[in-house]
Structure 1
Amino acid sequence: MPDWDTRYTSDGYLFGTEPATVLPRQAAHLPTTGRALCVADGEGRNAVWLAERGIGVTAFDASPVAVEKARRLAADRGQNVEFQVADAESFNWPDAAFDVVVGIFIQFAQPAERLRMFDAMKRSTRPGGIILLHGYTPKQLEFGTGGPPHPDHLYTERMLRDAFSDWRIVTLDAFEADLAEGTAHVGRSAVIDLIARRPA
């Protein structure tokens, strides 16, 4: 596991201040009212972007250094986001509270931990709401332009389809793209988008 506090103490924002490309790309599926939760959102770039769209946003990350930078980013952009210092195990997941739950590059989780996290994300999504996931596929190991070096941390279409078989899958798309997100995600990358809707 990387030492995120150390990585986040560097000048600037490790992944930049603009949202991950999946958010504007999938904006048509995202609500513009209601509540959103950003899981392990680091320095806040995705939470702030969602808040700018008019959504009430809660975000958490395990790194206090990252959360402090996220609060600063939100203040600089005139946005009010509820940031918490927590990890996926310690966060107090509310039941059916969010219209959208967002997990972007949250592939620190080993398979058993990932299943618990996905279950918590599902519980916290209101009926009719969506989960949006974005991450790397195993082909990313060939590119080496970001993400964990552990194959079992990466997403496949089959794995995500199985994990959300009880929900309606709106989008499930694996593709290659050139990323330019801060200094940590730069270059050709193998990524996947999932949007799944909880049955009403």
Structure 2
Amino acid sequence: MSKEHWDNSFSDEDFVYGERENVFIHDTSGIIPDHSKVGCFAEGEGRNAVYLAKLGHDVTTYDQSTIGLEKTKKLASQNQVDVETVQINLTNEKVNTDQFDAAIMVFGHVRKQDQPFLMDNMMDSVKPGGYVMFEVYSDDQLNYQTGGPPALNMLYDPADILDWIKNYKCIHFYYGEATRDEGKRHVGLGHVIQAVIKK
């Protein structure tokens, strides 16, 4: 989806996905070593980035929406933490490789043809020995209507993800239902794919 789409999506006064971190990121963040450099990919309004900064990590957040990045700065300021924001289209611009101790992504909605580039971008950004963790909506989410894009082309196939992560150590992989109450855009029972890998 375009920068304009996400600027428009995030233009509401409130935080459309809420101000609290994603449950999966909350539950798995303990694996990240103290005082790590962490990259947050397709991070939107910054809720996960601010949470990780509050844990003491050095956080850089990437998104193509200027409005999303402005709201990240606002949320960070409200929580007395610093988060570096970078405007970038992660589906065709590479971030620096081997720079982070960990990288995360929550519901990075991109077209299927752009998903391999986005995933490689995130995994390449992490140093050897580092961690990557993400939660996305599966193709089955179309049947739930509780959040995410209403288009199969913007959702993820678990077989694709297993293929993309097969060269790394898989610590956690989940494909199934999860309840997410995040702002007004993710409400109720949905169908997700989660992974935690070590590079």
TM-score by length of 1: 0.92
Aligned amino acid, residue 7 of structure 2: D
Aligned amino acid, residue 103 of structure 1: M
The whole-number CA distance in structure 1 between the counterparts of 2:141 and 2:94 is: 32
The whole-number CA distance in structure 2 between the counterparts of 1:119 and 1:85 is: 18
The whole-number CA distance in structure 2 between the counterparts of 1:153 and 1:7 is: 16
The aligned counterpart of 1:195 is 196
Q: Give the alignment's Cα RMSD to 1 decimal.
A: 1.6
Aligned amino acid, residue 15 of structure 2: Y
* 1:128 aligned onto 2:129: yes
Q: How far does the alpha carbon of each residue in 1:39-97 deviate from its partner, in whole angstroms, 9 at most, with x for none?
A: 11111101000001111000021111111111010011000110122220465511200
Aligned amino acid, residue 31 of structure 2: H
Q: How far does the alpha carbon of each residue in 1:124-151 deviate from its partner, in whole angstroms, 9 at most, with x for none?
A: 1100001111011122111111112222
The whole-number CA distance in structure 2 between the counterparts of 1:70 and 1:35 is: 17
Identical-pair percentage: 28
CA contact (8 A) 2:103 2:126 kept: yes
The whole-number CA distance in structure 2 between the counterparts of 1:44 and 1:91 is: 20
Correspondence 1:41-120 to 2 at 5 A = 41-89=43-91, 91-107=93-109, 109-120=110-121
Q: How far does the alpha carbon of each residue in 1:85-121 deviate from its partner, in whole angstroms, 9 at most, with x for none?
A: 22204655112000111111002x2233111121222
Q: Secondary structure of 2:195's match? A: strand
The aligned counterpart of 2:183 is 182
The whole-number CA distance in structure 1 between the counterparts of 2:136 and 2:34 is: 23
Q: Which runs of 4+ in 1 moved over 3 A?
A: 89-92
* 1:8 aligned onto 2:4: no
CA contact (8 A) 2:112 2:156 kept: no
The aligned counterpart of 1:138 is 139
Aligned amino acid, residue 14 of structure 2: G
The aligned counterpart of 1:34 is 36
Q: Secondary structure of 1:147's match? A: coil
Distance 1:90 1:110, change over 3 A: closer
CA contact (8 A) 1:157 1:172 kept: no
The aligned counterpart of 2:27 is 25
Q: Secondary structure of 2:184's match? A: coil
CA contact (8 A) 1:178 1:187 kept: yes
The whole-number CA distance in structure 1 between the counterparts of 2:74 and 2:46 is: 9
